[in-house]
Amino acid sequence: MDEDPARHLAGIGPARAASYAAAGLETRRQLLFHLPVRYRIRRAPTALEDMQAGVSAALVGQVVRTSVRRRGRRSTVSLKLACEGGGEVTALVFNRPYLAKGLRGERVWLGGKLDDERERFLVADYERLTETGPALPGHGLLPVYRLPVGVPPRVHRKVLAAVLGMVDVPDWRQVEAGEPDLDAALRDLHVPVSLERASAARQRLARDEAYALSLEVALRRRHHHGHAGVALALDASAHARLLSGLPHVPTAAQARCIDDVRADLAAPSGRPMARLLQGDVGSGKTQVALYALLAAAMNGRQGALMAPTEILANQHATTLRALLGRAHRAGLFPREPAVAVITGSGGAAERRAAREALATGAAALAVGTHGLQSKSVTFRDLAVTVVDEQHRFGVRQRVRLRGKGAASHLLVMTATPIPRTLALTAYGELDVSVIDELPPGRAPRRTSLVPRAEHDALWDDLRRAVADGERGYIVCPSITGSRPTSSGGLGGGGSGGGALGGEDGEPDEAEQHSVEQTERAVRRRLGASVRVAAVHGRLDPVRQREVLEAFRAGAVDVLVATVLIEVGLDVPEATFVVVPDPSRFGLATLHQIRGRVGRGERPGRCFLLGPLKAGPARARAQALVASDDGFVLAEQDLALRGPGELLGTRQSGIAGFCILDPVRDVVLLAETRAAALSAARPLSDEAVRRLRRRAFPVMDLRGENLLAGG
């Protein structure tokens, strides 16, 4: 059945065959494994005269006339329906203007309610019933698929019925007690008799997909660990000297992670390290990375650290140079190792000199941004690769940088904790270390959602805080205006002027959350005595460094910025951060922004300015107010955003899920992982791939060619 082409089925002509093929649906097996995403319950039709106003019901009839009325982006389609069983009624469908033409003359099933006057039927759901016969063939559960462009839902259901009538699907494994076999599960999903049986079938297929995903992880682990690396010997004396050279005494959690790294680097098996180091904002991940880089230098080899922004790269370079100077004076190195910096802002001669130093081995360590993994950068002997804020880089970028050394050791770090389900799948080839405590002396942080009525009081409070020696950030979503907004910005109804208005105090709606507009408003709000500066990505890199150094040194009180400062800016004296439009940021980004404050002895305060409409933006803000734990927020972020956004191939290198729900099925993923890794261990790569295809044959459907269908 695997190779039976779908194009030979009734209802699939050349055009539809091409649509199916574009979505990766070319065989009957692929059609069978293209599973429903949900179900609609179709009620049996009721006679028009028996309906009650406001009570959910269904009608079947012929659409004899249609019209559409538009008001801006909204529309109302009116359908004149001649009801089977007698009578006519006007049915209204909202915001689907294409149905005015698409349903004209069709026999349809409509679900909805009669309005209070019993004059109009308000449609919540619809289905074309072009064939004559019963309105509800079989039963009232209707599977809903994501369908290729150009394939109507009713056509697809007919195609599936034809496939199910032709084949029996043999099972690939022993069926566990209480679960359906594969053939029964597929039938219960495509032609559901009850929600209970469809749910049991979904669980069966979800287990198969979890197993297949774990086999994919097994292949990736084999690829990462399949090349012999060079052990970096670190005896007790060298280990103690390395620890003494670090900026701070490690916490218990840092020490545990350093021990993991040390064991990886010196593994007698020669298997190179492939480790994910995750810890909350400010937990001290960089200290663990410094240990790994110093270990490379102590062994006479090279290390590289790739960061997502120049700010973070330059900060790492400054830290490394100070650390290496101190280590040299303490006798760890006979001469101070050199650090080469490769970023976009360096001049051509500077970049050329840095590349030459790395190629010849004159520089022991490299720090840079994306340019580090370019073809023009070569290393004499790269042994340790560190990727900071790894979620900012794609898999291929990490692999390219690591590949510049002969199976170099890899440490990737993130301050955005990885939910357990992603650690099992998208990052499953990496061993995981977790820093689950903050260094001592860190002050607490408090997050508040500030309603519009309290904005004036907030800015009065911040003016007093700055006068008392505090410093802080205002973080904006854009450099210049990009869209209108209904939020109150930095404003309020008081004497400070409207919203983020221009010189006359009137708000410029298109710009009130941009850096340019916000900087002017902050100066007006806080007064001439407060030193305000702005920084963003379009600013000249030299000017960026000048502004940031002025803020670090205390020459600037309030820094207005974009998310450029989200990572890499460590100013312990900063105590407050204001986010004028939190709806424009994701939960992980908001948590990173909040992490810029509370890094010293004074408590940190994060203010999210309202109002926020009900929905995802408010849910994110409420989650941030409720918890300062990045691990808790990571799980909530996954639940709010869904796995589709978090598991794109650009970031993870793994296919999206077909029926598995990684939030709901995380226990299932954990259960199947050990069995899949064990099964893969004695098999060749090709045998693992064959087993993966048998377990779940359609992991690679081209999702970009699928639309939500009915």
Q: What does the DSSP assignment read for 423-462?
A: HHTTTTTSEEEEE-SPPTTPPPEEEEEE-GGGHHHHHHHH
Kindly report, residue by residue over 420-479, the tens digit of the pLDDT.
666 666 667 778 888 888 777 666 789 999 999 999 999 999 999 999 999 999 999 888
Coil, strand or helix at 478 = strand
- Cα dist. 697→271, 390, 654, 693 in Å? 32, 30, 15, 4
Between CA 555 and CA 548 the distance in angstroms is 10
Across 240-244, average pLDDT: 85
pLDDT value, residue 419: 66
Between CA 25 and CA 36 the distance in angstroms is 14
Percent of the chain residues topping a pLDDT of 70: 83
Residue pointed to by tokens 């490690």: 250
pLDDT value, residue 20: 87
Say whether pLDDT at 596 is over 60. yes
Structure letter (DSSP) for residue 80: E
pLDDT value, residue 504: 34
Same fold, 43-135 and 236-435: no
For the chain, what are the domain ranges?
43-135, 236-435, 445-628
CATH of domain 445-628: 3.40.50.300
Say whether pLDDT at 511 is over 80. no
Per residue in 473-497, is it b (16+ CB within 10 Å) or e — as a string? bbbbbbbebeeebebbbbbbeeebb
236-435, what's its fold?
Rossmann fold (3.40.50)
363 or 29: whose pLDDT is higher? 363
Kindly report, residue by residue over 244-284, the tens digit of the pLDDT.
878 888 999 999 999 999 999 987 666 788 888 988 777 88
- Cα dist. 88→65, 79, 268 in Å? 11, 10, 82
Say whether pLDDT at 643 is over 70. no
Between CA 705 and CA 249 the distance in angstroms is 53
Across 473-497, average pLDDT: 59
pLDDT value, residue 213: 86
Across 363-375, average pLDDT: 90
Average model confidence (pLDDT) across the chain: 82
Say whether pLDDT at 510 is over 60. no
Coil, strand or helix at 91 = strand
Say whether pLDDT at 496 is over 50. no
Across 585-610, average pLDDT: 88
Across 219-243, average pLDDT: 79
Least confident of 175-179, 296-300, 510-514: 510-514
- Given a contact cutoff of 8 angstroms between Cβ atoms, the answer to whether 162 and 37 are in contact is no
Superfamily per CATH, domain 43-135: Nucleic acid-binding proteins (2.40.50.140)
- Of 155-164, 566-575, 648-657, highest mean pLDDT: 155-164
Say whether pLDDT at 27 is over 80. yes
pLDDT value, residue 656: 58
Kindly report, residue by residue over 167-204, the tens digit of the pLDDT.
788 999 999 888 999 999 999 999 988 889 999 999 99
